[in-house]
Amino acid sequence: MSTPTSLLIRHARIILPNGELMNGDVLTQGSTIVAVETEIANAQPTIEIDAQGLTLLPGVIDPQVHFREPGLEHKEDLFTASCACAKGGVTSFLEMPNTRPLTTTQAALDDKLQRAASKCLVNYGFFIGATAENLPDLLSAQPTPGIKIFMGSMHGQLLVDQEELLERIFAQGERLIAVHAEDQARINQRRQEFAGIEDPAIHSQIQDNQAALLATQLALKLSKKYQRRLHILHMSTAEEAELLRQDKPSWVTAEVTPQHLLLNTSAYASIGTLAQMNPPLRSPHDNEVLWQALKDGVIDFIATDHAPHTLEEKAQTYPNTPSGMPGVETSLPLMLTAAQEGKCTVAQVVNWMSKAVAVAYGIPDKGEITPGYDADLVLVDLHNYRPVNREELLSKCGWSPFEGWNLTGWPVTTIVGGEIAYAHGQVNTQVRGKALNFR
């Protein structure tokens, strides 16, 4: 049997679990961090990495992505998506059930796990999707971070928008329920009101702040009635943030995407339908309130909602264009650039993108640089600004809403389970992640 890889990362600026910075070394053995010290002497590593001038963070855990396999591989697949993850410093992801077939049964979940085991460079977990009929599957499916409910912005079986059906799901079982909170009845009504308009900017008016607020209010009401663990996915409005600020039970968490913090409705003028997503981009005022809510702990963490569509699909005319944008390659540099600009601290970014996610989903031994924790790590360069270039993107969709943005904090090296999955522009396609556990 070959001996496991041992990495010695030397002279890094290490972000410690308490948020403090330490200049020092990290030693990994196999898939585990075994030492974090100012200087590690006498180690005999397989590989030594000189991290002078670089900052070492726990790998990003992206808790909401759409990777399209099985069934929609022309947009993305688990291999291309996980290469993009490795390049973006994302060492674990939680993926959504709107693939084909839908992930609404144990068999579909097992199929995804099997596919991921054979082709995924980073660690993976898959949500089970709620339908009107699959309550037994929702109660028994394993392993999964939780139940995903599309309260709106979906069609077919995955749309669960009737209060009575939602209540049945909230009333039974204990596992986490993650909601896409938009009110479908209001969206339907406003689609009729604004029918015929081809300017994609109308998307933010059709699926307006009120549509998001109504659904978040309903999810909160049901969660409180049954004291049911609730997670609000990609919260996008000032109104929802204020609601949670007033009234957030201890068993409720919420996330925000980098695009809802950093882009707003002005993006339609520059990038058109590439700015179209659900829930839609909002106003600069919403950006500000969401930032404050994140900094105050009203919003717990960051997710990308990586939702790739091809440029051909996006080139159709609204409303025939699909909603969604990719994100795993740019989320960490976007947030670290915000930190360099003084909007937040690097330690806050680490908490929002690693630690807080691991805690909320009960993922053991991830999200911290601590001996005994998994060796999922990312070395970033905080002092090298480079623009987002379409030609360099690894996501199969081949575009980003942030093209041309000059960012810093790009990953130099990404380590998954003690193996180098990405270094200096090259992905190591031999590396494989593992299925995540959830407490």
Active site residues: 305
The encoded tokens of residue 73 equal 């591989």
Q: Please, which residue, 6 or 153, has the CB nearer to ligand DOR?
A: 153
Q: With binding defined as CB under 6 A, does residue 236 bind ligand DOR?
A: no
Minimum CB separation of residue 237 from ligand DOR in Å reads 15
Q: Please, which residue, 85 or 416, has the CB nearer to ligand DOR?
A: 85
The encoded tokens of residue 180 equal 């896409």
Q: With binding defined as CB under 6 A, does residue 66 bind ligand DOR?
A: yes
Distance separating alpha carbons of residues 126 and 117, to the nearest angstrom: 12
The encoded tokens of residue 58 equal 């726990």
Please identify which residue in 277, 281, 289, 375 interacts with ligand DOR, judged by CB under 6 A: 277
Minimum CB separation of residue 306 from ligand DOR in Å reads 9
Q: Please, which residue, 96 or 252, has the CB nearer to ligand DOR?
A: 96
The answer to whether the CB of 106 falls within 8 A of the CB of 126 is no
- Give the CA dihedral 231, 237, 239, 242, nearest 10 degrees: 60
Distance separating alpha carbons of residues 352 and 270, to the nearest angstrom: 29
**DSSP classification of residue 127:** P
Site string for ligand DOR, 280-319 (x = CB under 6 A): -------------------------x-x------------
Please identify which residue in 180, 203, 355, 366 interacts with ligand DOR, judged by CB under 6 A: 180
Number of residues that bind ligand DOR (CB under 6 A): 11
The answer to whether the CB of 46 falls within 8 A of the CB of 5 is yes
Minimum CB separation of residue 51 from ligand DOR in Å reads 36
Minimum CB separation of residue 309 from ligand DOR in Å reads 6
Q: With binding defined as CB under 6 A, does residue 59 bind ligand DOR?
A: no
Pairing state between β 21-29 and 6-15? antiparallel
Q: With binding defined as CB under 6 A, does residue 324 bind ligand DOR?
A: yes
Q: Is residue 234 within a helix (H) or strand (E), and if so which, with residue range?
A: none
**CA dihedral sign, ordered 103, 176, 436, 57:** positive
Binding region for ligand DOR (CB under 6 A): 66, 98, 153, 180, 277-278, 305, 307, 322-324
